[in-house]
Chains A and B, each alone.
Chain A
Amino acid sequence: MVKTLGLRLVRLLATVFAVSFLTFFMTSLLPGDPVDTIIPPGIGERDEVLVAQIREELGLNDPFLVRYGNWIGDVVQGDFGKSYVTDQPVLSEITARLPVTAELAIVAVLMSVFLAIPLGIASAYKQGKAVDNSISAVVQFLLSVPPFVVGIFLIWGLALQAGVLPATGWVRLTESLTGNIESVILPASALALSQLAVFTRLVRADMISTLQENYVLSARAKGLTDGYVLFRHAFRPSSLSLITVVGLNIGALLGGTVVIEQLFAVPGLGRKLLEAINTRDIIVVQGIVLFISAIYVIINTAVDLIYMVVDPRIRVKSA
């Protein structure tokens, strides 16, 4: 077990390093000069000496590998560099934005998972009946509508027509609990609905095959109630693909809230990333991408560990 965990840790670190290199490489290919951000061209006379000096200071003249070595060396020590635009440390920019995105992603995942489980189970239990057909129809619809369209509809319906929730903006948890909850509901729902569709399908498909298993019949033959058989006996062995996809999706959500954050004017990591790309604030882009990918890799490792908790047979194989 300890050996397994150690091996996983090594693999995790290797992946993060590989990602960091690729990120650095790709952002270095981006057109545009970071110095243009600091001293915008076209406004008066540019002091070419100063430009050259800044370039030298930022190490932009160094060869690619040297630049990467310097950057990753600092990152390992917790120094992500300073934003070219705001002159703030990149790390503090990230940590200021991260809670917002994390809250959004977590709320969205929780909403979708906790709705998808009962819906998927009900659908599988009543396979081919009216309940199943209507759930499947709604799921099909949600799958084919992109989240931002759902978002626009939610803003129109709940914010503009009913006026119960704010259309855009963000209230921090530290400022007001109710305000925070109100501001998270709409963007999280927009994110959750399409996820909900995917998760419901997964749960339904896995449950249908589990319900054919002999041990479900023997559980029924023991006189246990249907609800108990469904949730205690059938759901857990049916949850492995759900766990995989939820894990993948949390990672994807952390990076994928960009559009929704933009739509709902939520000051999260995704919005910051977009800003940084637009202003050629490359060091911020690198920092955020590295951060997101590290979280992604960590979550996937966690998912593998959760497998072992859910299915004792996997525990034996990897021990």
Chain B
Amino acid sequence: MNTSLPDTPLLEVENLSTTFMTPRGPLTAVNGVNLTLQKGQTYGLVGESGSGKTVFSRSMLQLNVSSNVQTTGSVKFQGEELLTKTRKEMQSIWGKEISMVFQDPMTSLNPVMKVGTQVIEHIRHHLGLGKKEARELGIELLRSVQIPEPEARMDVYPHECSGGMRQRICIAIALACGSKLLIADEPTTALDVTVQHQILNLLDFQRRDRDMSMVLVTHDLGVIAGRADHVAVMYAGRLVEVADTKTLFAAPKMPYTEALLRSIPRMDQPAHTRLLSISGRPPDLANPPKGCAFAPRCAYAQEQCENEQPPITTHADGSQSACWIPLGTPASRDALQKNLSAGRPQTLAMHNVASTTSEVK
């Protein structure tokens, strides 16, 4: 945990909530999220599909597409409030101070514009460079993201490039104007596994090289390990656990985090081990449960969990979690025993598979 706080954090999100007005009523996709990112650090944001990660990352920047959306709370970037800025003011921050890399490189480049044009158009717009200088800078950028023959690549169309190549181009675009913060929304989800690794390393290298900070949004905890300083786990629009990466992997406090960690396939398991999955599905956000949103799927859930929303509490090791019965406490062991003997199906699903695995061994 980084204890020294010399100046204002680069990004400070307080109580950020985003609500969509839908025909079925208001749907709160992001609910009271707090997050602090120091300069030069990487923040991992993890959660399964539909947990609100993407909406959160777009809400910070007022980039939500829908018009019937309401964002409340505070997002301070270098001490400046972003949520009260007008669209015009945001346009001088987007791409220049804060850049985004999106999930699907196949669709995030314009199919009818040349790669070169897309790499340099905002350079010219933000930095006021001439056509020739911008082009040279563009070639330099493509070279820095390890695209072979960058001069030739400037004049091709996106469909002539592979997926990995396109994501490199998107990264080059994000790096172009010297942004201080990079928000990468599932940057490798749409790519082949071998390419994923290259892209993540590239992002990490460029971030260090250019002294940027990064919010790395992903559903894959494996992507976070070794790349993020801090991790926030999101479930049903709320942060349920926040910790520095080592602590989170070593001693998760929230049963959801534990379940996510167990769902990562591991090399040291014998072949044909059934991969653990979390039974059930995330709650309907238009009709959220009264208590902890994870309780219906949780192995440890007790009566209190079903009825009361757990507050975020800070633990001795500095990590924070929103759970009535944090893992590693005697209460959690008791709860597990109680649920096992009562034959609670969620609990059996989580813990039987684990025990059969050890028997096979």
Interface residues, chain A, with chain B CB atoms under 8 Å away: 128, 212-215, 217-226, 228, 232-233, 236-237, 310-313, 316
3 smallest CB-CB distances across A and B, nearest first, come from A223-B95, A223-B94, A222-B95
Would you call B122 and A224 a contact (CB within 8 A)? yes
Is B99 on the interface with A (CB-CB < 8 A)? Answer: yes
Q: How far is the CA of A224 from the CA of B126 in the complex (A)?
A: 9
Would you call A223 and B96 a contact (CB within 8 A)? yes
Would you call B107 and A214 a contact (CB within 8 A)? yes
Would you call B102 and A218 a contact (CB within 8 A)? yes
Of the candidate stretches B110-118, B191-199, B259-267, the one touching chain A is B110-118
Q: In this complex, what residue of B is CB-closest to A315?
A: B157
Nearest-Cβ distance from residue B89 to partner chain A, whole angstroms: 11
Task: Give the one of B104, B157, B170 with max A CB within 10 A.
Answer: B157
Q: How far is the CA of A187 from the CA of B196 in the complex (A)?
A: 61
Set of chain B residues within 8 Å of A128, measured between Cβ atoms = 67
Nearest-Cβ distance from residue B81 to partner chain A, whole angstroms: 18
Would you call B111 and A313 a contact (CB within 8 A)? yes
Nearest-Cβ distance from residue A175 to partner chain B, whole angstroms: 44
Q: Which of A212, A219, A226, A236 is in CB contact (< 8 Å) with B65? A: A212
Q: How far is the CA of A220 from the CA of B91 in the complex (A)?
A: 8
Q: In this complex, what residue of A is CB-closest to B173?
A: A222
Q: In this complex, what residue of A is CB-closest to B110?
A: A215
A-B contacts, 25 of them at CB < 8 A, read: A212-B65, A214-B102, A214-B108, A215-B108, A215-B109, A217-B63, A218-B108, A218-B170, A221-B102, A222-B121, A222-B122, A222-B125, A223-B91, A223-B92, A223-B94, A223-B95, A223-B96, A223-B125, A224-B91, A225-B91, A232-B121, A236-B112, A237-B110, A237-B111, A313-B159
Is B248 on the interface with A (CB-CB < 8 A)? Answer: no
Q: How far is the CA of A220 from the CA of B64 in the complex (A)?
A: 11
Q: How far is the CA of A313 from the CA of B111 in the complex (A)?
A: 8
Set of chain A residues within 8 Å of B93, measured between Cβ atoms = 223
Give the total number of A-B pairs whose CB atoms are below 8 A apart. 81
Nearest-Cβ distance from residue A129 to partner chain B, whole angstroms: 8
Is B292 on the interface with A (CB-CB < 8 A)? Answer: no
Is B16 on the interface with A (CB-CB < 8 A)? Answer: no
Chain B: interface residue total (CB-CB under 8 A): 32
Q: In this complex, what residue of B is CB-closest to A221?
A: B100
Nearest-Cβ distance from residue A203 to partner chain B, whole angstroms: 16
Is B233 on the interface with A (CB-CB < 8 A)? Answer: no
Would you call A224 and B121 a contact (CB within 8 A)? yes
Would you call B170 and A237 a contact (CB within 8 A)? no
Q: Which of B63, B67, B125 is in CB contact (< 8 Å) with A220? A: B63
Nearest-Cβ distance from residue B344 to partner chain A, whole angstroms: 42
Q: How far is the CA of A177 from the CA of B333 in the complex (A)?
A: 94
Q: In this complex, what residue of B is CB-closest to A213?
A: B107
Contact with A along B65-93 (1 / 0, CB 8 A): 10100000000000000000001001111
Given A218-B100, A218-B170, A223-B92, also A310-B112 (CB < 8 A):
yes
Would you call B94 and A222 a contact (CB within 8 A)? yes
Would you call A218 and B109 a contact (CB within 8 A)? yes
Set of chain B residues within 8 Å of A232, measured between Cβ atoms = 113, 121
Q: Which of A218, A220, A312 is in CB contact (< 8 Å) with B112? A: A312
Is B61 on the interface with A (CB-CB < 8 A)? Answer: yes
Would you call B159 and A217 a contact (CB within 8 A)? no
Q: In this complex, what residue of B is CB-closest to A217?
A: B65
Nearest-Cβ distance from residue B25 to partner chain A, whole angstroms: 19
Q: In this complex, what residue of A is CB-closest to B160?
A: A316
Q: In this complex, what residue of B is CB-closest to A129?
A: B67
Would you call B102 and A217 a contact (CB within 8 A)? yes
Set of chain A residues within 8 Å of B111, measured between Cβ atoms = 215, 237, 311-313
Nearest-Cβ distance from residue B262 to partner chain A, whole angstroms: 32
Q: How far is the CA of A125 from the CA of B122 in the complex (A)?
A: 21
Set of chain B residues within 8 Å of A217, measured between Cβ atoms = 63, 65, 102, 108
Set of chain A residues within 8 Å of B99, measured between Cβ atoms = 221-222
Task: Give the one of A212, A222, A237 with max B CB within 10 A.
Answer: A222
Would you call B125 and A224 a contact (CB within 8 A)? yes
Task: Give 16 A-B pairs besides A214-B104, A222-B173 with Cβ atoms closer than 8 angstroms.
Answer: A128-B67, A217-B65, A217-B108, A218-B173, A219-B110, A220-B63, A222-B95, A222-B125, A223-B92, A223-B126, A224-B121, A225-B91, A225-B125, A232-B113, A233-B110, A311-B111
